[in-house]
Structure 1
């Protein structure tokens, strides 16, 4: 049937009209609609389907949603698309024992007999019994004389065999490395093969350069670019219309520009710059210049990424009380003395930088909150929107401080899944059952008025927002089963808000993205299932049938009814 002809009282035709939809706008002023119109990449109208003909002309592209749910495009507030998942690595996800790790490496070696390096990723700490960390001796039997580097699933640690220790110059008198800190045997002083702080050092500009110069293939620019474009393809497929890449050096920015030039950057991107300890005032000047140079709606550079502590699984997060396992009295360490970190945040805040601070342990989180409080006292309150990223183990006394200080809780729901962090896993065992009530308190933070910004932390966890939403709503394993700490679940609408408007606000994008509102960018997703109405266990497996960025269809799953002219994004 042809659209009704435009009359003198009709608006000018839209470029795209979405019809027959159940639109959840995430905008309280107009919570729901059945249709919308787009012109010049922006939403110009939302309303009843019966009125959509008024916006339709001969050149209008019409998308028939067929009653499906439409949401704002997801904004993944912490997604390491540049780390991605590397096809050249041995994949260890799901390997639950050392023997299984050996089998996967052996199978890879059989397919790549001439490989100069063995590289693997997604090692799970729980694959080794009794909470111990791996050693070179654990790798040597299956890797032989070929250097091997295995990255943990969170990329916070590296595991080297004896040949790699030698190739990378790790010795008893050289354990403080550009790419991490090598652990040593307490009896002999020899390096064990386990390197911590890899995310802080190995992913820094200097650390990455050192690995590249030492011949580690994983660190090469082409391997980085391959990971990036593969992850970007996944992002748009999952309906992620804005990606926040949280940790980059200035050297990495050309990778994003290349992806855009080659048509591989179909989502919008916000890139945070890494601020390791020792970053100079001259570096800050360079960061500010990069932010001015990259301030478009497709690529924006600006926030700074810092670390205050590491992670719970290898017992390197900073806790208020000692770990329940491991060395008696050990509480983990902060990367900065408390006063030094507070002075640093005061300085960065005074210069107008927004800070994303990695903090997982309750002492690490409190250190950051105290520093933000100091910055507000010294510099005066401003709309800084500093973020604490992860918020894994939060003391109840600090819950209200997020809203009081205007600090965003950037959280990754999938991290708290029982099969990842719950009873029997290293996270839960290391903090001890007496502190489980502190684990990822999403509902408590939301009730206290904090801004929740949800994300995947890919490739630490699955990128798919459906998996994150399912976990936030159920706290159950992906395969079903008993919930862990269900009192901290949130409802689906809250989880959707955190993946859209919450993440938009967290990144100063709320005037442009995060809701389907007249005047905002036309970034939206048509889902295969109505996740606001179906049973929670059916949320995983829901797919993005159609993804639109700036009014252009950037992805189609093969279903849906789309007619009219098409211009690639």
Structure 2
């Protein structure tokens, strides 16, 4: 496919080019000029595009793909090197040992901050308490975030410093859990992702002197995550939850050359968002509308998460007679809110994990269509963890995207013996992350990492999507809901590009589209063992034809 014979800036040849373009699914070479793909074709046909200044890359038979579009990646939240790292700590004693070791190394720290605690590390299936932390932290205030950042765990000193006592039900950064016998705060805060990551929540934490919330710490996390994105071939990042204050961090990163991937930033719309807020959101969308940084969508929550029993289920949680979680809005209020935002032209990303939560969102999208008429909204249900079969066809019928994170359904995270599977009960396991069923029903799938809830590397997500196994192998969990490699790659490229209204310029290796490319260290279509996917890395990635990552081992 030729557009002209003008010399290219970059030619990649001797490649297995998986274009994700049905008009030309496979090719062997590709040419780029002025940041745009100008030619895709056979190995024998590229030499006439070579000029004196053309960079020519011999791919050595490796797989060349469109750049990955990570449809849900919290690069701003990131992973914080100043925190105690609790990933992989399987017991309360191991959590304590890591905190103790950190304190020995940081004797002058005013706060103890930790991240990525796993709910299953707390004994007897209960939620953590301030007393659990006190014996490791003493009188130094401590803030510990769960691996999904949906809950916060405080010790007694932090409760006292933050003014949380028996009279406090709600804070700007979370809902206070109380001991049913004494009425006193347990030290456990739910809804942290909904409140603590909001504009008001962050400002309240900053005012209280919590170091984790300081803008400099936020920027440190952002830059570390952006560097990872470039290394992993993520040429477009969708940051799904930001306040207007946070946009300054991205502008700073762009000005300092740290924002090498394209960015789509969604603004957080908590319950109670005002008309003045919406006017500011619309203004931000108009101001940030180019190909490198775009503000387009709004993020809402309908429920929380399964593990602490805060997702909204149709039937009670396993082992409970009545408790089935709550939605953050009454259904009609939510439907009216969605219709209002849809009428203003916003695209909506709605967090929904439980089957009742997901149904409430689909009902709201249907209501918006009935009120406003059909438009190319591409609204998203984000996560889709526990989906009732009756709602499966509604995604395609309503034109709703399923934005899913394959790694979340791995057996070592959510399967038998883990808190997710035990909370919903075995009779609901068939509802867990039904990727293949949604795909067969015609749903648009957008795949993503949900960093730093899970690993950012798309290879981890692709491996899990095609195997539903843990990173160490072992039995697959619900293997009937795996997808094939082509579908998984589509979900990380064209699926996510389409989901974010970027399919006219990204998502496939098609002449005329931006030259966002990823060259992998091996051809995934030629491997015999899916575990080889995990050993695959990005050799070269470009954004608009500019090389943003080149592996040291690649010449």
Q: TM-score, normalised by structure 2?
A: 0.99
Give the C-alpha shift of residue 243 in structure 1. 0.2
Matched with 2:391 is 398
Partners of 1:157 and 1:194 within 8 A in 2 = yes
Q: What is residue 82 of structure 1 aligned with on the other side? A: 76
Aligned match of 2:99 = 105
Whether the 8 Å contact between 1:65 and 1:560 is mirrored in structure 2 is: no
Moved more, 126-135 or 426-435: 126-135
Q: Please name the residue that 1:158 is paired with.
A: 152
Asked if 1:294 corresponds to 2:288, the answer is: yes
Which of 242, 252, 270 is equivalent to 2:246? 252
The residue number in structure 1 matching 2:455 is: 462
Equivalent residue number for residue 141 of structure 2: 147
What CA distance in whole angstroms lies between the structure 1 residues aligned with 2:410 and 2:398? 29
Q: In 1, Cα distance between the equivalents of 2:206 and 2:40?
A: 51
C-alpha separation in 2, matches of 1:182 and 1:423: 30
SS state of the match for residue 256, structure 1? Answer: helix
| CA deviation after TM superposition for structure 1 residue 62, in Å | 1.2
Question: Which residue matches 2:172?
Answer: 178
SS at match of 2:367: helix
- Measure how far apart 1:262 and its partner are: 0.7
Q: Shift of the alpha carbon at 1:285?
A: 0.8
Q: Does residue 224 of the first structure (1) align with residue 218 of the second (2)?
A: yes
Match of 1:261 in 2: 255
**Cross-structure match for 2:206:** 212
Question: Match for residue 407 of structure 1?
Answer: 400
Q: How does 1:286-325 map to 2 (within 5 A)?
A: 286-325=280-319
CA distance in 1, matches of 2:59, 2:290: 30
Q: Could you tell me which residue of structure 2 aligns to residue 120 of structure 1?
A: 114
The aligned counterpart of 1:48 is 42
Aligned partners of 2:519, 2:149: CA distance in 1, in Å? 33
1:67 matched to 2:66? The reply is: no
- The counterpart of 2:541, out of the listed 547, 552, 569, is 547
Distance 1:85 1:159 in 2: 17
Partner of 2:377: 384
What's the offset of the Cα at 1:129?
2.3
Q: Which residue of 1 aligns with 2:431?
A: 438
SS at match of 2:99: helix
* CA distance in structure 2 between the partners assigned to 1:170 and 1:49 by the alignment: 67
What does residue 3 of structure 1 align with? none
Contact 1:10–1:54 (CA under 8 A) maintained in structure 2: no
Counterpart in 2 of 1:93?
A: 87
Alignment partner, residue 523 of structure 1: 516
CA distance in 2, matches of 1:376, 1:183: 38
CA contact under 8 A between 1:117 and 1:216: conserved in structure 2?
yes
* Secondary structure of the structure 2 residue equivalent to 1:409: strand
Q: Distance in 1 between matches of 2:120 and 2:321?
A: 20
The gaps in structure 2 that reach 5 residues or longer are none
**2 CA distance for matches of 1:200 and 1:108?**
29
Pairs aligned (count): 552
1:216-250 deviations in whole A, cap 9, x for unaligned? 00000000000000000000100000000000000
Aligned-CA RMSD value: 0.9
SS at match of 1:192: strand
| Aligned with 1:373 (options 348, 351, 366) | 366
Deviations 1:405-459 (A, max 9, x none): 0000000000000010000000000000000000000000000000000000000
How far apart are the structure 2 equivalents of 1:322 and 1:351? 36
Per-residue CA deviations over 1:122-175 (Å, capped at 9, x if unaligned) read 000000123200000000001001000000000000000000000111111012
Alpha-carbon displacement from aligned partner over 1:175-205 (angstroms, at most 9, x marks no partner): 2100000100000000000000000000000
Give unmatched runs, 5+ long, in structure 1: 1-8, 562-569
1:31 aligns with: 25
CA distance in 2, matches of 1:532, 1:212: 49
Match in the other structure for 1:564: none
